[in-house]
Amino acid sequence: MLERLGRQFGYDERSAALLVFPVFAVLMVVAVYPIVYSFYTSLFDIVLTRPWRRPFVGFGNYARIFADPQFWTAVQRTTVYTVVTVSITTVMALFVALLLNEAFPGRRLLSALILLPWATPSIVNGLMWKWIYDPGYGLLNGILVQLGWIEKYIVWLGDPDKTLFMIANAAIWKQMPLAAILLLVSMKSISNDLYRAATVDGANVFQRFLHVTLPALKPGLMLVLVYETMISIRHFDLFLIMTQGGPGDASYTLSWQIYVETFRNLKFGIGAALSYVLALATFILSYLFIRGFGSKA
Amino acid sequence: MSLSDPRSVSRRTVLKAAAATAAITVAAEHRSAWAQAPTINFTSWSAAVDQVKSHVSAFEKATNLKVNYENFPWAQYRTSVVTRLVGNAPMDVLWVSDAWLPEFAEAGWLATIDDVPELVKYNADAAPFCTQSMLYKGKQYGLAYYGDHMSFVYNTEILAKAGITTPPTTWAEVVEQSLKIKQTGVVEYPMLMALAIDTWLIEFMSAMVFSHGGRFVDAAGSAIMAETGKGVVEAANWIREAIHTHKIVAPGAVETSEITALRALGSGQHAFCIVPTYRLRALNDPSQATAAGKLRPTLMPKGPNATASATCGWIRFYGMTPGAKANATRRANAVKFMEFFGGKDTGGNYTLQKLLLTDVGLPFCTTPLSNDPEVKAFWTRWAGGGDVIAQQAATAVKKDVIAPWFGEWNETANAAWQSIFLNRATPQAAAASMAQKWKELRGS
């Protein structure tokens, strides 16, 4: 067989294959194998604290997940969080990109400053917002009281009705700059001729935005939506630092459930199955965005 | 095969090199394993690291044995240790929480020490509560690292300002005194509670339940937590009313962790709090707390059905792995280590236990040390005397929810507690969900 392959492929092809092989092997070991193995794991009822048993349950873990009310609570929380985070991030990023696309003194400095939150490590971001929201000494309460907008300090993260939105705010603060830069890059590629032609046709600034900028931004918007959805739906660090899934189960999202089942309850089978469900949901959403925007773009 | 084909030569060379590398690696591993043979692998969480390190040095000097000391943060410790145990990583001695004992013992990760006379002899000097906490199904699994309990602490200055001369003895008096303090305008929320989802929440709640004369489960291990009059509902209801009716506990308590509560208590902003006793040292240290010298322990207030001022106690201990026990040399070394750390050192003294108390504030399980003049001086300096602490320690009860499924049950319990504190569920309904989970896990 090797001889046949040797005859079929020349020296160049074989050399190329040899050079590509290490990368291929590394990818197989660090990416493909874990993905396949975690699916295999999801078919077993593996609980680390019961090492003597490892029953094969087939898709039993998946059935248990879908029958668990806690899972549906997590789906609901994840959906709310993702919709809020992605929509606000995208809209704000669009406005910031439009602003940075205009020529004005200090634009470069502003561009650099706007990127700062994105460069802040996630852990620092979580801790910083936790302090800002603190019901006893938080900056947010301090400012609101000084402005006279509230009389008493408010509980932000400890209020189940506000928690998800407060975490989403911290996420938006960090994620928006990158989205803005991505949209700005798309904007820069729009030909000025299109704007000039629209102006000649009598289009005002809003009409130019609606009929020139927005259609031309579709590839950029698709990229932002796919990226932000993938990030938000799997968000974990802020939940770990700020609320630990609480208060009660107010911030109990899918990624938090995966963490609890895998690393606290040490149920690796269920944890792997949940991870696959989340990965599948991410894949479907990304596909829908690409279908919706991609072909037209 | 000819020398004119450079690729063939190179392939052979590569194969030879790979074989040589593999041989060297295998030899090096054997050598390394041989070199590690007399080493004791000790794993702990990241606490009292300086004191442990200094004692490790003393142990190495006294025994000529080497110690490989590793520590992990408390929050990740259980997961780290379990994965290492499952993966058969080299471990001889490790710190274990009493909460994990059933789980670890059932999994076969801890060895019994009933047949190790060098260690069991220290039971004679240990507080019965500590020894009891290291037993599972009648077998002993370790030697104490430290034993502690939840203390009720009050701020003498705030009470004096409000004209209160004696600290409360019942939970009803806590409400009464708190309202008086609130009315005088000294502080807005006199009672401080750390009710965030935190590893300490179950200890706080157990202290509340036990001080109400209650239990979570009966002697047979069946859940009684949802039954009215058994303590859980009453304790939860007290907290709910303290937040929402009397407003003596801040509504932000659901996001207050134990460490945040300590800072707030140390800053002198609250009159009452439940804290682990070992925190008294830091709380009364002027370099760490502005309220230092004013924070004193008193007996846990009693609920209407309680006959004693009970509290929640816990211990952490040195456990030996079955792998270490199965090998004669490793067993002998591990036993020496456990004795040196959890018993007496080679000089015949409880050196580490005393050091952990005086340096870090960790109370010990070793009763003879209580009469040590330095220990007495310590309690006088940091807690205004050791009598209350000794009295409270005598009424400490270990968490009765400790079971192989404790961790998973606690996840449900944490959310249920918070739903009560947030007034989103009645104590009865939340306790029923805890009881249901207990029943489900117990039956699985």
DSSP string, B189-201: --EE---SSSTTH
Of B79, B82, B252, the CB nearest to A155: B252
Distance from CA of A264 to the nearest CA of B (A): 7
Judged by average pLDDT, the poorest of A80-84, A117-121, B32-36, B321-325 is: B32-36
pLDDT tens figures, A50-62: 888 889 999 999 9
CB contact under 8 A, B415 and A51: no
Q: Residue B34: its pLDDT value, please?
A: 42
| Candidates B79, B254, B404; nearest CB to A247 | B254
State the angle between helix axes of A69-100 and A163-188 in degrees (0 to 180), rounded to the nearest 10. 40
The DSSP 8-state label assigned to residue B299 in this structure reads P
Summarize pLDDT for A216-241 with one digit per residue, the tens.
998 899 999 999 999 999 999 999 99
Q: Do the chains contact at A52 and B108, CB–CB below 8 Å?
A: yes
Residue B88 confidence (pLDDT):
87
Q: How far are the Cα atoms of A199, B408, B413, B417 from residue B437, in angstroms, in the given order?
A: 68, 9, 9, 14
Among A18, A47, A49, A268, which would you mutate to test the B interface (most chain B Cβ atoms within 10 Å of its Cβ)? Answer: A49
pLDDT band per the 50, 70, 90 thresholds, residue A126: very high
From CA A57, how far away is CA A65, in angstroms rounded? 13
The pLDDT value recorded for residue B300 is 97
Q: What is the pLDDT of residue B2?
A: 38
Asked casually if ipTM beats, i.e. exceeds, 0.90, the reply is: no
A252 to chain B, any CB pair closer than 8 A? The answer is yes
Compare all CA atoms of chain B with the CA of A261 and give the residue at the minimum distance: B408
Residues of chain A contacting B264 with CB distance shorter than 8 Å: 136
* Inter-axis angle of helices B171-184 and B232-244, nearest 10: 10
pLDDT tens track for A178-217: 999 999 999 998 988 998 999 998 889 889 989 999 999 9
pLDDT at res. B1: 35
Q: How much is the pLDDT for B19? A: 54
Q: Judge whether B424 is closer than 8 Å to chain A, CB to CB.
A: yes
Which residues of chain B does A247 touch, with a Cβ-Cβ cutoff of 8 Å? 197, 254-255, 418, 421-422
pLDDT band for position A121 (cuts 50, 70, 90): very high
Nearest to A81 by CA among A210, A192, A191, A172: A172
Question: For the domain bounded by A45-296, which CATH number is listed?
Answer: 1.10.3720.10
Q: Indicate yes or no: CB of A136 within 8 angstroms of CB of B252.
A: yes
> Which residues on A lie below 8 Å from B250 (Cβ)?
135-136
- pLDDT over 60 (residue A155): yes
Mean local confidence (pLDDT), A251-280 = 95
Residues in chain B: 444
Min Cα separation A21/chain B (Å): 15
Q: Chain A contacts of B414, Cβ < 8 Å?
A: 246
Name the stretches of chain B with pLDDT < 50. 1-9, 11, 13-15, 26-27, 29-37
DSSP 8-state symbol, B252: G
Q: Which of residues 36-95 of B touch A (CB under 8 A)?
A: 79, 82-83, 86
So what's the pLDDT on residue B387? 92
What does the block give as tokens for A72?
Answer: 């549906």
Q: Could you write out the three-class secondary structure of A44-69?
A: ECCECCCCCCCCECCCHHHHHHHHCH
Spatial neighbors of A256 by CB under 8 A, at least 6 apart, are A74, A236, A239, A240, A245
What are B234-265's pLDDT values in tens digits? 999 999 999 999 999 999 999 999 999 999 99
B79–chain A nearest CA distance, Å: 6
Burial state string for B337-376 with b = 16 or more CB within 10 A and e = fewer than 16: bbbbbbbbbeeeebbbbbbbbbeebbbbbbeebbebeebe
A138 touches chain B (CB under 8 A): no
Question: B70, B89 in Cβ contact below 8 A?
Answer: no
B351: closest CA of chain A, how far (Å): 35
Residue of B82, B252, B254 lying closest to A48 (CB–CB): B82
Is the CB of A60 inside 8 Å of chain B's CB atoms? no
Determine contact: A227 vs chain B, CB below 8 A: no
Chain B, 103-122: which have a CB under 8 Å from a chain A CB? 103-104, 106-108
How close does chain A come to B139, measured CA to CA in Å?
19
Yes or no, beta carbons of A135 and B251 under 8 Å apart: yes
Looking at the partner chain, which of B104, B250, B422 has a beta carbon nearest the beta carbon of A160? Answer: B422
Nearest-CA neighbor of B352 among B198, B143, B110, B45? B143
Interface residue of B187, B193, B198, B254 to substitute, partner A, most A CBs within 10 Å: B254
**Interchain contact B419–A (C-beta under 8 A):** yes
Window 252-271 of B: residues touching A by CB (8 A cutoff) are 252-255, 264
Under 8 Å CB-to-CB from A258, ≥6 apart: which residues?
A271, A274, A275, A278
User: Which residue in chain A has the smallest CA separation from B417?
Assistant: A248
Position A162 scores a pLDDT of: 95
| Segments making up each domain of chain A, as ranges | 45-296
- Residue B20 pLDDT: 52
Q: Is A14 on the interface with B (CB under 8 A)?
A: no
Closest chain A residue to B418, measured at CA: A248
Pairing state of beta strands B272-276 and B143-155?
Answer: antiparallel
Select from B197, B407, B422 the Cβ nearest to the Cβ of A245.
B197
Q: Is B196 on the interface with A (CB under 8 A)?
A: yes
Terminal Cα distance for chain A, rounded: 46
- Distance, CA of A240 to CA of A161 (rounded, Å): 18
Inter-chain CB pairs, A–B, below 8 Å = 78
Q: Which token pair is A257?
A: 């459930």
A135 CA: distance to closest CA in chain B (Å): 6
Helices vs. strands in chain B: H and E counts, helices first = 19, 11
Q: Please say whether the beta carbons of B197 and B191 come within 8 A.
A: no
Contact map slice: B 390-409 vs A, CB within 8 A: 404, 407-408
Whether chain A has a CB inside 8 Å of the CB on B357: the answer is: no
CB pair distance less than 8 Å for A49 and B83: no
- State residue B415's pLDDT score: 93
What 3-state class would DSSP assign to B233?
A: helix
From the list A50, A135, A155, the residue facing B107 with the nearest CB is A50
Which B residues, 277 through 306, put their C-beta within 8 Å of a C-beta on chain A?
A: none
